[in-house]
Amino acid sequence: MRNSITDRVTLHNGVEMPWFGAGVFKVEQDVTARVVRDALQSGYRMIDTASIYGNEQGVGDGLRESGVDRKDIFLTTKLWRHAHDEQEIFDQFDESLRLLQTEYVDLYLIHWPKPMFDQYVATWKAIEKIYKSGRARAIGVSNFNIPHLERLAAECEIVPMVNQIEFHPYLVQTDLQQYLQAHNIVLEAWSPLAKGRILTDPAILGLAAKYGRTPVQVVLRWDMQKGIVTIPKTLTRERMIDNADLFGFSLSETDMTLIDRLDCHLRTGPDPDVFDKR
């Protein structure tokens, strides 16, 4: 069911994850608390951050200031630095918990596979141990392509619950979508608006006029109807409310297909097969 901002998808370990949330990529530390507080007080129940964003402290402050019970919030953060030494992974996780001011996260992700360093399998095995400790209710990956996922399946014990990838109408990644669905891995979209590029596409503008909605709402509704978890970012409460107003209309099958056909394999971020930033 995807009929309201509070609806959730059940991950393959039984944990329920909201379909819709707020991302804080590149949100400055000094405004992050306000953004998170505004999102939660506007009805959002999922917040997505990462250690590399440098704003986990602000996220933790916003969680506390919101007045929303921690158990009702789905909190994601991500591991940036891989390591063969699992203690280093544990230390990075502990630091994230300290900054977030929480005893656990709801989802912990490997941020990038960085295959040229050949450490993501060892890193995943350490994250499996964090999961078994109960301090991460679910674990997953971000920006993993099919070969990376196949290695985890062959060499590790636990299948990732989530793969957070760049996904928008210009980058549909059909093969990866089908692989994730076949292996019961939830697809979560980052940059669902292609960093704003999709919002001036004539097809999207035409659909916005047809449905009496904003271009943002049309694209995010497309995500919802495709069964894609999505985490758009905005700094203003008004846009947060507007972005989440997706449940009073639906796109026709013809219009869903029209948006699907906008796919042109355009990445606004790095290619996971070559990204190697330490």
Mean pLDDT for each 10-residue chunk of the chain (278 residues)? 85 98 94 98 97 97 98 98 93 98 98 97 98 98 98 98 98 98 98 97 98 98 97 96 93 98 97 93
pLDDT tens digits, 51-100: 999 999 999 999 999 999 999 999 999 999 998 899 999 999 999 999 99
Q: Which amino acid is at 91?
A: D
Q: Which amino acid is at 5?
A: I
By the 10 Å C-beta count (0-12 exposed, 13-18 middle, 19+ buried), 67 is classed as: exposed
CA 55, CA 50: separation in Å to the nearest integer?
8
pTM: 0.97
pLDDT of res. 6 = 87
Q: Angle, to 10 degrees, between the axis of helix 146-155 and the axis of helix 174-182? A: 20
Short-list 188, 275, 264, 262, CA closest to 224: 188
pLDDT of res. 27 = 95
pLDDT tens digits, 223-243: 999 999 999 999 999 999 999
* Pair 169, 199: CB distance under 8 Å: no
- Has 108 been annotated as catalytic? no
Catalytic position from the list 53, 120, 131, 170: 53
User: First CA to last CA across the chain, in angstroms?
Assistant: 39
pLDDT of res. 100 = 98
Considering the domain 8-260, what is its CATH architecture? Answer: Alpha-Beta Barrel (3.20)
